[in-house]
């Protein structure tokens, strides 16, 4: 198991789904956790679950699309914990619809949380990691970053940008001791995806999985924690596909 003992880890979008699993796995790996989400009630449930495992954890309820507030939050987290070692950029809001029907508010919301908040978050966390002499950033991308998906034009644009930003930051920040990687999970039923994928959609996704099963939040979380930890100290600029081989299948 990867170790994060004594490391301060920010997980965004930690109120449920994959983010909650990442927070729980990082807590079990020994991390001190700063959990960020806009949903106060569900974030509180995550915090309770992690506290019962014995980990040190604090919630920050923030709308990360407010750049000034989000960057100040990162400074506040650093001041509270005395630094930041790891940032997991997981929060997202997704809608699938034909490109012809996409309205500007839906486009902007996906871009704002999926790309802008990641960009400004990395900008704000970098000085705190440089002060430590090291750091690790893990971004959540998607197979949609490299393959077209039905009605996913905005989502694909967001995730393609996240994969490109990951590689760029790996080169630019690597020189300062900061590793930047990404994880591309396969389809997983979560509060976010259950809103946009129907029963038939999940059946189709299952059929296309070479392992005959979907990925799980826990399985993805183990990959994220590995990349965040010193066990992955040679890995920088990589995108790990945690999709059970779905992306390499011609089925
Ligand atoms: N579930 C999948 O099938 C899947 C597949 C590939 C990639 N991913 C990626 O993994 C990540 C997690 O996916 P998920 O399905 O668990 O997501 P989800 O939608 O279930 O959870 C996202 C979280 O982000 C939070 N959030 C949204 N807008 C916010 C804002 N403005 N400020 C603060 N918090 C905000 C939500 O409250 C929510 O708790 C996402 O980046 C997603 O794109 C998911």
CATH number at residue 59: 3.40.50.720
pLDDT of the residue at 150: 92
Residue 39 lies in a domain: yes
Residue 1 lies in a domain: no
| Contact of 215 with 190, CB cutoff 8 Å | no
Centroid of ligand 1 to alpha carbon of 161 (angstroms): 16
39 lines ligand 1 (CB under 6 A): yes
Residue 3 lies in a domain: no
SS3 content of the chain, % helix, strand, coil (to 5): 50, 15, 35
Number of other CB atoms surrounding residue 111 within 10 Å:
16
pLDDT of the residue at 2: 84
pLDDT of the residue at 251: 74
pLDDT of the residue at 78: 98
pLDDT of the residue at 1: 72
What is the count of structural domains for the chain?
1
Residue 209 lies in a domain: yes
Residue 251 lies in a domain: no
The range of the structural domain enclosing residue 197 comes to: 8-245
| Contact of 30 with 6, CB cutoff 8 Å | yes
Tokens of 37: 């989400």
pLDDT of the residue at 63: 98
Tens digit of each residue's pLDDT, the chain (251 residues): 789 999 999 999 999 999 999 999 999 999 999 999 999 999 999 999 999 999 999 999 999 999 999 999 999 999 999 999 999 999 999 999 999 999 999 999 999 999 999 999 999 999 999 999 999 999 999 999 999 999 999 999 999 999 999 999 999 999 999 999 999 999 999 999 999 999 999 999 999 999 999 999 999 999 999 999 999 999 999 999 999 999 999 87
Catalytic residues: 155
Helix (H, G, I), strand (E, B) or coil at 98: coil
Question: What is the number of the ligand 1 atom nearest to the C-alpha of 93?
Answer: 27
15 lines ligand 1 (CB under 6 A): yes
pLDDT of the residue at 153: 98
Residue 186 lies in a domain: yes
Strand partners, 137: 87, 180
Residue 2 lies in a domain: no
Residue 157 lies in a domain: yes
Q: How far apart are CA 228 and CA 9, in angstroms?
A: 9
Nearest C-alpha neighbor of 126 from the set 172, 189, 64:
172
């Amino acid at each position: 198991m990867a170790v994060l003992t004594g490391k301060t880890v920010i997980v965004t979008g930690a109120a449920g789904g994959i983010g909650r699993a990442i927070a729980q796995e990082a807590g079990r790996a020994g991390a001190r956790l700063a959990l960020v989400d806009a949903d106060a009630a569900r974030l509180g449930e995550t915090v309770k679950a992690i506290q019962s495992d014995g980990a040190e954890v604090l919630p920050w309820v923030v709308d990360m699309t407010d750049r000034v507030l989000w960057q100040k939050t990162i400074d506040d987290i650093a001041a509270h914990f005395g630094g930041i070692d790891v940032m997991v950029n997981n929060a997202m809001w997704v809608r699938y619809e034909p490109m012809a029907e996409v309205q500007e508010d839906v486009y902007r919301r996906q871009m704002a949380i999926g790309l802008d908040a990641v960009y400004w978050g990395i900008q704000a966390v970098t000085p705190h990691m440089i002060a430590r002499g090291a750091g690790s950033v893990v971004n959540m991308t998607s197979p949609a970053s490299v393959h077209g998906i039905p009605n996913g034009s905005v989502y694909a644009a967001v995730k393609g940008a996240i994969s490109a930003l990951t590689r760029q930051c790996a080169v630019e920040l690597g020189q300062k001791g900061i590793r930047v990687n990404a994880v591309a999970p396969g389809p997983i039923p979560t509060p976010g995806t259950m809103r946009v994928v129907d029963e038939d959609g999940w059946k189709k996704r299952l059929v296309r999985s070479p392992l005959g099963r979907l990925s799980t939040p826990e399985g993805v979380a183990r990959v994220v924690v590995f990349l965040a930890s010193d066990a992955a100290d040679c890995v920088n600029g990589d995108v790990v596909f945690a999709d059970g081989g779905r992306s390499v299948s011609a089925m």
